[in-house]
Amino acid sequence: MRGGALRRVLSTFKFIDLFAGIGGFHIGLSDAGGECVFVSEWDEAARVTYRHNFEDKSGELFMEADGRFAGDITAITSSPHINKLIPKFDVLAAGFPCQPFSQAGLRKGMDETRGTLFFDILKILEAKRPAAFFLENVRGLLSHKSANGASTMEIIRGQLTEAGYYFSEHLVKASDFGVPQHRPRLFIIGFRSKAAMSRFKAPEPVELGITLDQILGGRTDREIGFTLRVGGRRSGVQDRRNWDTYLVDGVERSIGPEEGLKLQGFPSWFSFPPGISETQAMKQLGNSVAVPAVRAYAVAIASALGFPN
């Protein structure tokens, strides 16, 4: 039972997993004592991987009649029945699409359709008024400006404040939480209660729990690996766009899904289902989150809300 291998704890809070990908947030928040009650992910291949790993543990999520394993979130947020379609929950988790804000992309931000998906998160926050949220994006969001010169982050800050939330922003590297991957990301942690916000304490960095040499099975010239991303695979160590090829014992070697799962900190029980190609698996990993970093912040959120973990 794959999902059964999640750390068994008494669920103390409920969360929803938006733009869920393959379930990095699900693992981190479950390990912190949470119970997932709603998922949204539109990509069919990612949905297959998600179901493959979590159906045994959270089978009720995948009952078609309940509609709690949803596809396109805009179909939910555009419905007048949004309150009925999403169960009551305490924490909203969302790694909303980062390509519009990434330095690797065209940086169109909110001028691009995917960039406006933040407002679907906002609609859910306003409709359901959960106790907290946990948002993740690329660090480029902090400096991004729209076509008219407006700061995208200032727009987001203003909207979250108007929705009644107190929040803090954190630049977090995967390598600060035990895995040898750079991966700088922006975490935005918010609470409806000012008291809960004041109790929130960002977790302290920890030492590496596994080395890049151990993951790649040989001697490398790097302590911290490149940031896993989508596209540009196997470009070679001399290519400025290289992110997945290393010199291992003096020989060029490109990482595959098994190494990618370790670089992202996924547990040993997590796997890709039969029929998922290596290219698709690497794409899913590039779109995922570093699980140990999410777990550490999830524990801090639960503690601020007064939930044991």
Separation in Å, CA 118 to CA 105, 126, 199: 18, 13, 26
Phi, psi of 70 (to 5 degrees): -85, 160
Contacts of 65 (CB under 8 A, 6+ apart): none
**Ramachandran assignment for 6, one of left (phi > 0), alpha (psi -120 to 50 degrees), beta (any other):** beta
In our burial notation (b when 16+ CB lie closer than 10 A, e otherwise), range 33-62 reads bbbbbbbbbebebbbbbbbbbbbebbeebe
Q: Which residues are catalytic?
A: 98
Q: Are strands 132-138 and 91-94 parallel, antiparallel or unpaired?
A: parallel
Rounded to whole angstroms, how far apart are CA atoms 215 and 202? 28
Burial class (CB in 10 A: 0-12, 13-18, 19+), 241: exposed
Amino acid at 17: D
| Torsion on CA atoms 99, 127, 10, 187, rounded to nearest 10 | 30
Quote the radius of gyration of the chain (alpha carbons, Å).
Answer: 19
Spacing of C-alpha 144 from chain mean position:
20
